[in-house]
Structure 1
């Protein structure tokens, strides 16, 4: 449903997006992960037909995102990363306008307002960041589009609203929607996405099934020993610095877990604590490799 093929847009030497390619199928959620300025929002703006690429091609539903942007916009519910709405309108006024523009079902609007409640009579300029984000979410999903492009969708939401958002997009996924979501919030990406791509300096450095990404990262373990002498001896074997009774290290191609277990038979071990497998570890793993190469 969503397809980018070698899309490149250079704003200045080394700034922009370069050779970006991926696809998002109906009934899937694709995560787009990267630091600020890495090219996530630029990529989404190309898909919305707001920018023309220097090279490559972007399509949604088979329509060219630049040449057929009118048809593309009819298929897409878009949530920008920076919410900018008319300050003198109330939330209800804004939703009324969106409902007219997209011929949205009033019942769907009410369902979304129950899921993401806020005071609709408040003027937008008086709303908190969280209220504006809920207004934007309701307006985006009210369209009931087959494709959603979501740029940092949970920004400003409290934990309860974040969980409700994840439940909602899971429902939309099962309804056959194609969802592309950028976020810095690693736990929500791991919970919700089927596939993900990491982008840095405008280039995708890895793309994979979300669980494969997590499994492929180096695992960090912390071992607690009975004595500092034992901790120091083990730290020397695995090539790290001890912290009194504790030693933290990562397993990789050169240090397997089987090797570590063999070493540990020599010592009086009090505790073995593995780190949680999450996307933040994947992020640090891949970005660390890029910086050291």
Structure 2
């Protein structure tokens, strides 16, 4: 449903996106991960027909995102990373306008407002960041589009609203929607996405099944020993520095967990604590490997 084929857009030497390719099928959620300035928003703007590429092609539903942008926009619900709405309008005014533009189902709007409640009579300029984000989410999804492009969708939401948002995404996925979501919030990406791509300096450095990405990354562990002497001895064996009775280390293809366990049988271990097995470790793993300078 969403397809980018070798898309390049160079703003200045080394700045832009370069040879970006991936596909998002209907009924799947695709995660797009990278730091600020890595090219995530630029990629989404190409898909919305807001930019023309220097090379390559972006299509949604078979329509060219630049040359057939009108048809593309009819298929897409878009949530930009920076919410900019008329400050003198109330939330209710804005939703009414969106409903008229998209001819959306009022019952769907009410379901969304029940899930993401806020005071609709408040003027937008007086809204908190979280309220504006909920207004933007309701406005985006009330369109009931087959494709959604979401740029940092949970920014400003509290943990409860973040969880409700993920539950809503799952419902949309089951309904066969194709969803592309960029985010810095790693736990939500791991929960929600089927596949993900990591982008750095405008280039995709890895794309894979989300669980394969997590499994292929380094895992970090902390082992607590009974004494500082034992911690120091163990640290020498695996080539790291101890911190009093604790030793922190990462497993990878050079140091496997089985090798560590074999070493630990010689010591009086009080505790083994794994780090969170989430995309943040994947991010650090791949970005660290990508450094060449």
Bin for the TM-score computed over the shorter chain: over 0.9
- For 1:72, the equivalent position in structure 2 comes to 72
Structure 1 residue runs of 5 or longer lacking an equivalent are: none
The equivalent residue for 1:287 is: 287
Structure 1 distance, partners of 2:101, 2:55, is 32
State the secondary structure of the residue aligned to 1:135: helix
1:237-286 alpha-carbon deviations (Å, 9 max, x no partner): 11100001111111112112222122112222221112121000111111
Q: Quote the Cα distance in structure 1 between the aligned partners of 2:158 and 2:221.
A: 31
Partner of 1:44: 44
Q: TM-score, normalised by structure 1?
A: 0.98
Matching residue of 1:249: 249
Give the Cα separation in 1 of the matches to 2:258 and 2:142: 53
**Distance in 2, Cα, partners of 1:137 & 1:113:** 10
2:93 aligns with 93
Deviations 1:154-205 (A, max 9, x none): 0111111111111111000000000000000011101100001111110111
Secondary structure of 2:45's aligned partner = helix
Task: Map Cα deviations across residues 30-68 of structure 1 (whole Å, 9 max, x no partner).
Answer: 000100000000000000000000001000000000000
Q: Does 1:139 align with 2:167?
A: no
Which residue of 2 is the match for residue 84 of structure 1?
A: 84
How far is 1:119 from its partner? 1.0
1:94 aligns to what SS in structure 2? helix
Number of aligned residues? 293
2: CA distance, partners of 1:258 / 1:27? 38
Segments of 4+ in structure 1 off by > 2 A? none
- Is 1:130 the counterpart of 2:130? The answer is yes
Paired with 1:75 and 1:262, the residues of 2 have a C-alpha distance of: 56
Q: What pairs up with 1:1-293 in 2 under 5 angstroms? A: 1-292=1-292
Distance in 1 of aligned mates of 2:149 and 2:224: 46
Q: Which sits farther off after the overlay, 10-19 or 247-256?
A: 247-256
What is the DSSP-based 3-state SS (H/G/I as helix, E as strand, rest coil) of the residue aligned with 2:6? Answer: strand
Aligned residue for 1:213, secondary structure, equals: helix
Aligned mates of 1:243, 1:288 — CA distance in 2: 23
Deviation track 1:49-93 (CA, whole Å, cap 9, x = no partner) reads 000000010000000000000000000000000000111111111
SS at match of 1:254: coil
Deviates most, 80-89 or 256-265: 256-265
TM-fit CA distance, 1:292: 4.8
Give the Cα–Cα distance (whole angstroms) in 2 for the partners of residues 258 and 159 of structure 1: 36
SS in 2 for 1:139: helix
Q: For residue 58 of structure 2, give the secondary structure of its aligned residue in structure 1.
A: strand
